[in-house]
């Protein structure tokens, strides 16, 4: 199997897990775990899993060049800490479908950041795509109707949009590191640094968790978020970025609403409405137009 095919399959699997994660996380958050406590567990355990690679031999112990530490720290901040704290705080306030639609802003933002980083001109077509995508995001933020699983969708959607911005920055910044080091080495440092940033925000909520209230299904849900939606998705994404471009990795996010909507409608009885459909069409159109450019 070609490396590019494996990379595309990795992105498909990662976004399938992401799509499932929107609804699964809602089953235990905030009823059992507050968002910041959830992130504390997620980053701590994922970092532990990634650092097991250190015992894989000398090939997994490459020394990081001094000049790369700033970029690694920025990736830990934007790709793990800010990204996850904003996302789960937002998901706690909005619905899975809304959150997944807001994440469609990521490919558009990646396109903007790649254009800036590589000093490419932003054409009229790309500008139209940007306007369409932002219009869809604003449509969700402004006209979000409250429902049984969304306590404050307006604020929640805004936080998820800021999360998408953070994640887009991460996708662009991490690419040069992929050319120099093995993906597992990069991601384990990113998560360790990210945990340092997360620690002061999540330690209080983590210590307040009442573990005696957890049922077996709750442990499975938490395990899926840690192992599936964190460990494997980050590993698969970073592997794919090494082979493909940040723009392609970002474009795969448009599949998340499809997966998230199916799962949310089955398990959370969430429904589609005109606003969600219009927002999805605007954002997908924006993604398509912004993606019509040279890859990084």
Write out pLDDT tens, residues 86-139: 988 887 787 776 777 777 777 777 777 877 776 656 677 767 877 777 777 667
Confidence label for 148 from pLDDT (cuts 50, 70 and 90): very low
The reported pLDDT for the residue numbered 295 is 43
Among 89-98, 155-164, 183-192, where is mean pLDDT lowest?
89-98
* 228 located within any domain: yes
178 close to 242: Cβ distance less than 8 angstroms: yes
- Does a structural domain hold residue 192? yes
215 inside domain: yes
Going by C-beta distance under 8 Å and a sequence separation of 6 or more, which residues neighbour residue 278?
Answer: 136, 139
Domain that holds residue 9: 3-290
Per-residue pLDDT, 146: 46
Burial (Cβ within 10 Å: 0-12, 13-18, ≥19) of residue 58: exposed
- Residues 259-273 have a mean pLDDT of 67
In a domain, 280, yes or no: yes
Q: What average pLDDT does the chain have?
A: 81
Compute the 3-state secondary structure of the chain and give helix, strand, coil in percent, each to the nearest 5: 80, 0, 20
- Band of pLDDT at residue 272, cut at 50, 70 and 90: low
Query: Per the domain annotation, does 296 fall within a domain?
Result: no
The model's pTM is: 0.75
pLDDT classification of 158: cutoffs 50, 70, 90 = confident
Asked whether the beta carbons of 224 and 69 are under 8 A apart, the reply is no
What is the rounded (10 degree) CA torsion for 180, 52, 18, 179?
Answer: 0
Query: What 3-state DSSP class applies to 211?
Result: helix
Q: What is the pLDDT of residues 207-218, one digit of tens each?
A: 999 999 999 999
In a domain, 285, yes or no: yes
Q: How confident is the model at residue 150 (pLDDT cuts 50, 70, 90)?
A: low
Per-residue pLDDT averaged across 174-192, rounded?
Answer: 89
* pLDDT category of residue 296 using cuts at 50, 70 and 90: very low
Total domains in the chain come to 1
The mean pLDDT value for 230-256 works out to 79
In a domain, 295, yes or no: no
């Amino acid at each position: 199997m070609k490396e590019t095919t494996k990379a595309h399959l990795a992105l498909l699997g990662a976004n399938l897990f992401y799509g499932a994660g929107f609804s699964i996380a809602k089953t235990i958050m905030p009823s059992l775990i507050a968002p910041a406590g959830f992130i504390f567990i997620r980053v701590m355990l994922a970092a532990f899993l990634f650092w097991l690679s250190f015992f894989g031999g000398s090939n997994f112990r490459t020394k990081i060049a001094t000049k790369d530490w700033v970029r690694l720290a920025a990736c830990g901040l934007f790709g793990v800490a800010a990204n996850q704290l904003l996302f789960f705080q937002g998901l706690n306030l909005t619905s899975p479908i809304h959150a997944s639609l807001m994440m469609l802003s990521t490919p558009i933002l990646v396109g903007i950041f790649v254009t800036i980083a590589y000093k490419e001109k932003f054409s009229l077509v790309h500008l139209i795509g940007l306007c369409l995508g932002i219009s869809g995001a604003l449509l969700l933020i402004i006209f979000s109707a409250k429902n049984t699983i969304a306590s404050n969708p307006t604020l929640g959607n805004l936080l998820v949009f800021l999360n998408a911005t953070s994640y887009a920055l991460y996708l662009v910044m991490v690419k040069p590191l992929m050319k120099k080091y093995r993906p597992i080495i990069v991601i384990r440092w990113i998560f360790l640094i990210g945990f340092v940033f997360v620690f002061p925000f999540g330690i209080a909520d983590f210590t307040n968790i009442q573990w005696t209230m957890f049922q077996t299904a709750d442990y499975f849900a938490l395990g899926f978020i840690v192992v599936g939606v964190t460990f494997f998705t980050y590993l698969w994404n970073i592997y794919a970025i090494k082979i493909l471009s940040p723009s392609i990795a970002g474009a795969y996010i448009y599949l998340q609403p499809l997966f998230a909507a199916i799962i949310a409608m089955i398990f959370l009885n969430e429904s589609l409405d005109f606003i969600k459909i219009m927002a999805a069409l605007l954002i997908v159109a924006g993604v398509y137009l912004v993606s019509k450019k040279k890859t990084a």
